Amino acid sequence: MKIDVKKIFINPYTISVVAALLILFVLYKCTFSWLKSYTNHGQEIVVPDLSGMTTAEASQVLAKQSLKLEVVDSVFMKGKSLGSIVEQMPKPGDKIKADRTVYLIVNSSAVRKVMLPDVHEFSLRQAEAMINSVGLRVDSVIYIPNEYKDLVQFVKQNKLEIQPGTRIPEGSSVTLYVGRGLSNEMLEVVSFRKLNEDQAKLKAHSAYLNIGKVIYDEQPKDDAEKALFFVYKQVPATGSSISVGGSVDLYLSKDPSVLESPEVIYYNPDEPDDTSADTDNLFK
């Protein structure tokens, strides 16, 4: 039986099927092309690290990569530049499409002020805890002749006395003036070896001493790096005599090789040598 091909192709049913298939093919191509354009198919952008930048700087960086930004929150973080970006989402190194938004958290452009608590006639330990709890720091302690020994008498900032309730910038340092009694008591200098600056200050205050000059062998970049530096030398040396409230200068480094040299310890020949005394007793 001979098939008439011509009749098949001019058949209305065949023509309808072919037309429908062509229409579906064209629609598929158009839709795929539109989706590819809309989603930037195959085009991904690596999110840059915006930390430390201002929003204006970040906007310029993102605009060059066809990205946008939106600030979603503002916080106050010590050790960070005012108005700088402290967190972002997506994270640096993530891959996103063009025209997407990077959401930012920035450091406050103004330092928050906090109220100085009333620490008058509190012990040094209590006063430090109260001051630290509101976001302030005790930078130094000065012992003054006063009958109320070991009690805080007043607080100063930049050599000016400040009253309880005064609002000062969060993160500020203050100086506590503490009574030391009415005697000229002398103390033995304790060792600050291997402590960072903050740890040394706490130990000094507990030992009724102050930290004088703090010399870093290289300047720390921020508070996080600062915590990595440790004391390898101090003046006066450990064991020296010093008046109550006297100052000790510290030298800090983060190079462990500086600890290869032994610590300098002052020996007072006028004090009895307990070790030799015990040794002598062995022969009696």
Q: Residue 283 to residues 71, 276, 279: CA-CA distances in angstroms?
A: 80, 12, 8
Residue 262 DSSP SS3? coil
Of 88-92, 141-145, 175-179, minimum mean pLDDT range? 141-145
Which distant-in-sequence residues (6+ apart) come within 8 Å of 208 by Cβ? 141, 143, 180, 187, 244, 245
Say which residues have a Cβ less than 8 Å from residue 121's Cβ, sequence separation at least 6.
Answer: 148, 151, 152, 153
Domains of the chain: 45-107 (3.30.10.20), 111-183 (3.30.10.20), 187-278 (3.30.10.20)
The answer to whether residue 223 scores a pLDDT higher than 90 is no
Which string of b and e fits 20-36 if b means at least 16 CB within 10 Å? eeeeeeeeeeeeeeeee
Report CA-CA distances (Å) from 202 to 31, 182, 197.
69, 24, 9
Longest dimension (CA), the chain: 137
CA 91 – CA 101 distance, rounded (Å): 12
Q: How confident is the model at residue 283 (pLDDT cuts 50, 70, 90)?
A: very low
Across 128-256, the runs of DSSP E, i.e. the strands, are: 137-144, 152-157, 160-162, 167-169, 173-179, 186-188, 210-216, 230-235, 241-243, 247-253
Q: What is the pTM of this model?
A: 0.53
pLDDT of residue 279: 38
DSSP state of 180: B
Work out the burial of residue 283: count CB atoms within 10 Å of its CB; fewer than 13 is exposed, 13-18 middle, 19 or more buried.
exposed
The average pLDDT across 41-65 equals 88
> What is the rounded distance in angstroms from the CA atom of residue 234 to the CA atom of residue 228?
17
Residues 193-212 have pLDDT tens digits of 999 999 998 898 888 888 88
Q: Supply angle C-alpha 154, 159, 165, rounded to 5.
A: 45
